[in-house]
Structure 1
Amino acid sequence: MTLASTSDAPSSPAIDRRSAAPMYDQLRRLIIDGIASQSLRPGDLLPGEHRLCELYGISRTVVRQALGQLEHEGIIERVKGKGTFVARPKTSEALMHTLIGLYDDVERRGGHVRSDVLRHETVPATPEVAEALAVVVDAPVILLERLRYVDDDPWSLSTTWMPEAVGAVTFGADLREGSLYRVLAEHGLRAVAGVRSAEATVASPEQAQLLAISPGSALLRLRSVSRDAAGVPLEFFIAYHRGDRSRFEFELRADAAGASLVPVGAGGSD
């Protein structure tokens, strides 16, 4: 099968109905082999469900099982109304176990981050923000909301709150192409410790529109508080990362000090 063309006859091995391997897994392997042998690139169009049924004489149920598995593995992506495509590889992010930001994490791997600044203003601290930043409720804090792009793909939606004295240095800075952490560092404000958590969630209609995904799509929600050497909070952020674009990596060691598994809803304000 020539995967990039839905009109060609199959040239790869057919489905073996006598094999002990499930037909959906055979089809899955044929598609993977076809992507590799034809050097298809992310974004290349693949045959749709109907064409695969015709090519291999198999049911739509079998095809959907194969495509569902491939999508789960991040090998293909299906876009409603457009078709099935070779997926873009997920970017491994080290944001869970380091204090670097998305900008620096992607930059060191040769990528490019830019941001649309959606909000950048002084607001009163909500109870959650006040607790995270160790300020009183309704104290003025600086809010920074950004839609982050990695190599021009919408990647994450983040909201950062900073104490007024910290956030004041960000006004006038270029936060579309630059790093927030670098701006803070230029003013002697450096995070050396913090607590960060991640959990799975789904996209609201508003988030989905900004991130160019469907409502209900998988998101990874990061919640983080960073502190300076004196233990004073510098920032509190909540970020929503696209589940189809991000993969967080953790460094493991025998000494589990500093790591914990917290049941959802147990402790804290989250």
Structure 2
Amino acid sequence: MNSIYEQLKIDRTVPIPLYYQIKTFMIKHIEDNSLKDGELVPPEEELCAYLNVSRPTVRQAFLELVHEGYLNRIKSKGTFVTRPKIAGDFIQKIQTYNQEMQYYGLKPKTKLLSISEIDVFAEVMEKLKLTEKDKVICLERLRYADDKPIVYVKTFIPVKLCKGLIDEDLEQNSLYDTLKTKYNIEIAHINRQIHATVADPYLSDLLGIMENAPLLYITTVAYNQNDIPFEYSLASYRADMYKMNVDLYKDKYYK
């Protein structure tokens, strides 16, 4: 048992439910990283004996922590600490990945897996309004939050719009910022579609998840200030660490 649990003291003199005292203690130490992501939590019966509380008390605390995303129960293995999912606004805002992670207080990082110029193929040709003679830059990146892989992204960009992009440092520099400052390409609007899928062996290895684990698969077509499509991206987000946040407002003309 992590020694941090020695600091967990139940106060029976206050009108705060015992399960809630356990719950708030766990949240505090998960958020300050004293209890680390992936760490095995002591079994319910062990905590019951240590704290001299009933099993339903500990179970209630664990149930709420699981529901709120702080714990994850895996059958036949136990209960593990997990960080709550990132409630991303990616689906309703135009912003870079770095901006999004920094907004949530997370440290972004990008690993460039590959970059090359390739012949266009049917799917990309349709999305980017290209011809068979065009070439595209194919960019593969693995993106992290606090050193945990969150999303794998494959991106296609027409070579004719940004010759020389292949030589840029796209691990340390934002793709969108580079396109804006060096190629005068700014995002005017985007189209995104979300699908549910599962991890194949390649993605399970990259993202550190089980094969067939759920993923959020998001396709993006971005258009520049001249309404020309300049980017087609295919992103696979870990569903255990990322969720989409969408705010909807009633139209003032709706009756």
Q: Shift of the alpha carbon at 1:85?
A: 2.8
Instruction: Give the aligned partner of residue 190 of structure 1.
Output: 186
Specify the SS of the correspondent of 2:167: coil
Show CA shifts across 1:96-120 (max 9, x none): 1122121222234443221111110
State the match for 1:239 in structure 2: 235
CA distance in 1 between counterparts of 2:251 and 2:104 reads 28
Contact 2:152 2:237 in 1 (8 A): yes
Determine whether 1:161 maps to 2:156. Answer: yes
Question: Which residue matches 2:25?
Answer: 37
Unaligned runs of 5+ in 2: none
RMSD over aligned Cα atoms: 3.5
Pick which of 128-137 and 33-42 moved more: 33-42
Superposed, 1:181-260 pairs within 5 Å as 181-186=176-181, 187-255=183-251
Q: Which 5+ residue runs of structure 1 have no aligned equivalent?
A: 14-25, 258-270
CA apart distance, 1:138 = 6.4
- What is the CA distance between 1:51 and its match in structure 2? 4.2
**Aligned-partner Cα distance in 1 for 2:180–2:200:** 34
Distance in 1 (alpha carbons) for counterparts of 2:78 and 2:4: 12
CA drift of 1:249 comes to 1.3
| TM-score normalised by L of structure 1 | 0.73
Q: Is the 8 A contact 2:198 2:214 kept in 1?
A: yes
Q: How does 1:16-31 map onto structure 2 within 5 Å?
A: 30=19
2:134 to 139, 143, 164: 139
Percent sequence identity is 27
Aligned residues: 237
CA gap of 1:169–1:77, structure 2 versus 1, over 3 A, is farther
Cα offset, 1:156, TM superposition: 0.4
CA distance in structure 2 between the aligned counterparts of 1:242 and 1:198, rounded to whole angstroms: 13
Residues in 1 aligned to 2:3 and 2:22: alpha-carbon distance in whole angstroms: 6
- Paired with 1:57 and 1:34, the residues of 2 have a C-alpha distance of 12
User: TM-score normalized by structure 2?
Assistant: 0.77
Q: What is the DSSP-based 3-state SS (H/G/I as helix, E as strand, rest coil) of the residue aligned with 2:250?
A: coil
